[in-house]
């Protein structure tokens, strides 16, 4: 996921994307906890995507405030 792609989305689309990523993160954490998967790299990708979405959301709030 690229930050430029996220900047093109609306605030509602970003919120939906964030909720999907948070669900995916929870699912991956549960799978890792019960040792159903060994794809530990997926959790790192999801965490970084969550950070990207939150960063773009914060940028758009700052831009709207000015």
Is residue 20 within 8 Å of 56, Cβ to Cβ? no
Domain count, the chain: 1
pLDDT at 12: 95
The contacts of residue 59 (CB under 8 Å, 6+ apart) are: 7
pLDDT at 4: 87
The contacts of residue 37 (CB under 8 Å, 6+ apart) are: 28, 31
Domain containing 43 equals 3-65
CATH code for the domain of 25: 1.10.287
User: Can you give the pLDDT of all 66 residues of the chain as single tens digits?
Assistant: 788 899 999 999 999 999 999 999 999 999 999 998 888 899 999 999 999 999 999 999 998 887
């Amino acid at each position: 996921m690229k930050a430029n792609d996220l900047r093109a989305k609306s605030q509602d689309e970003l919120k939906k994307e964030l909720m999907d990523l948070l669900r995916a993160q929870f699912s991956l954490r549960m799978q890792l906890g019960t040792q159903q998967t060994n794809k530990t790299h997926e959790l790192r990708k999801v965490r970084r995507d969550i950070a990207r979405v939150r960063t773009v959301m914060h940028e758009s709030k700052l831009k709207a405030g000015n």
